[in-house]
Amino acid sequence: MQASKAYEANFDGLVGPTHNYAGLSFGNVASRSNEKSVANPKAAAKQGLRKMKRLADLGFQQGVLPPLERPSIRLLRDVGFSGDDASVIARAAREAPELLAAASSASAMWTANAATVSPSADTEDGRVHFTPANLAAKLHRAIEHGETRRSLGAIFADEARFRIHHALPGTPALGDEGAANHTRFAREYGDKGVEFFVYGKSEYGQGPQPQRYPARQTLEASRAVARLHGLSSDATVFAQQSPDVIDAGVFHNDVIAVGNRTTLFCHERAFVDQHKVYDELRTKLDALGTPFTALEVPESEVSVEDAVSSYLFNSQLLSSADGRQLLIVPQECRENARVAAYLDSLASRKTPIDEVLVFDLRESMKNGGGPACLRLRVVLDEAERAAVNTRVWMNDALFTQLDAWIDRHYRDRLAPADLADPKLLAESRAALDELTTILGLGAVYDFQR
């Protein structure tokens, strides 16, 4: 039976005022290669905002997620710095600049890591489930999940329709990186689907592991999220990411694969036992009467290194109202000759991808985040959409407000050394205080010292 009409909404993270290049993410090639360079928070925020507006103008359901409070004075106090806020920042800058950098990171802009989301069509209790990611592998990200949960609670407040879990315990055995390692397949968004969880290693099981860079997502975490969300075993597939691509800089699955409805777009080296993965997806989807297509890009045309440098797969694959599939890619895909040639060939190959749209996200890309990193996908039926905080939906008025808000509050230059400036905390708090009014977020920020 056809389910009620549903939509895939994309909730993009607004880039925060402390956007900088501290090189905090070992395993993320772009992040480390641009370490200590000068960032432009204003340009970063506007690039992300313009992506949101363009997709909303094209008819897609587009929402906004707020930045978190940064620098995190709470973190700095928790590790022993005391005094007034200015003293805390000054002492951290002098004694432990790496901790100040972690406390100041704007990494919550990559909301693909904010949570894993399962729609009501898949869950046992018929609610949309969110599990904020613990992001236990990196200090600057491990401090996010409590604040993320508050933000989600301010937007998805109706407990009859939404269930927002606490993050998994923050241990490496349950390392969870959120929707960057999760996608979902279904004929229509409102139909029951198959949820696809990709992990880098099993903490307690056997199997290959990367040798150069860490695997951040564990099988144990993925299975825990599936249990929390009340997902059935016949509608879940767990696949291991190839260790060699993790060692090549593919720190999340969304750097090597992206899915939408009945299509998986991925590199031929994305998974361990790749064709067995396809077979399991195809079998479980077939039981739901849903077709499945794997569009696999061969190494001979686009190498893993090309994929990492261009972020071909860190793209958004979207279905428009007329059923056409659009691939949203960063400008870097056009600057890599092999990737550009592949994209230009899609029409002649008669693939499920009908159109490619290119976006300038240079500031985010330099820190290792493309279009897919910037958004959290949330499937909503019409009643659930109506229950979402209405102030966060992108439209002409909200775009105008946020564009002017960025102009008022954001710097156009921020070097790592500038994190020691106590004025940055005051600027950030003033910006976020105003944002709560614009987005109707209530007391989502506590500004606790």
CB-count exposure of residue 362 (10 Å: 0-12, 13-18, 19+): middle
Q: Out of 177, 195, 220, 384, which one is annotated catalytic?
A: 177
Q: Out of 8, 373, 384, 427, which one is annotated catalytic?
A: 373
In which residue are the tokens 């159109």 written?
355
In which residue are the tokens 């077979």 written?
279
Q: What is the DSSP string of 116-165?
A: EEE-TTTSTTSSEEEEE---TT-HHHHT-HHHHHHHHHHHS--TTTEEEP
- The CA distance from 198 to 218, in Å, is 9
Residue 4 tokens, joined: 């009620």
Nearest to 11 by CA among 67, 62, 72, 69: 62
Are the CB atoms for 399 and 164 separated by under 8 Å? no
- The CA distance from 288 to 61, in Å, is 26
Q: For the chain, what is the total number of helices (H) and then of strands (E)?
A: 18, 15
Q: Is 252 a catalytic residue?
A: yes
- The CA distance from 26 to 242, in Å, is 18
Entry field: residues in the chain: 449
Nearest to 134 by CA among 177, 72, 104: 177
Whether omega before 172 lies within 30 degrees of 0, making that bond cis, reads no
Are the CB atoms for 12 and 111 separated by under 8 Å? yes
Q: Out of 129, 140, 145, 252, which one is annotated catalytic?
A: 252
Nearest to 127 by CA among 174, 81, 163: 163
In which residue are the tokens 């992001």 written?
135
How many other C-beta atoms can be found within 10 angstroms of the C-beta atom of residue 178? 31
- The CA distance from 226 to 231, in Å, is 5
Q: Is 140 a catalytic residue?
A: no
Are the CB atoms for 38 and 367 separated by under 8 Å? no
Q: Is 373 a catalytic residue?
A: yes
Residues designated as active site: 177, 252, 373
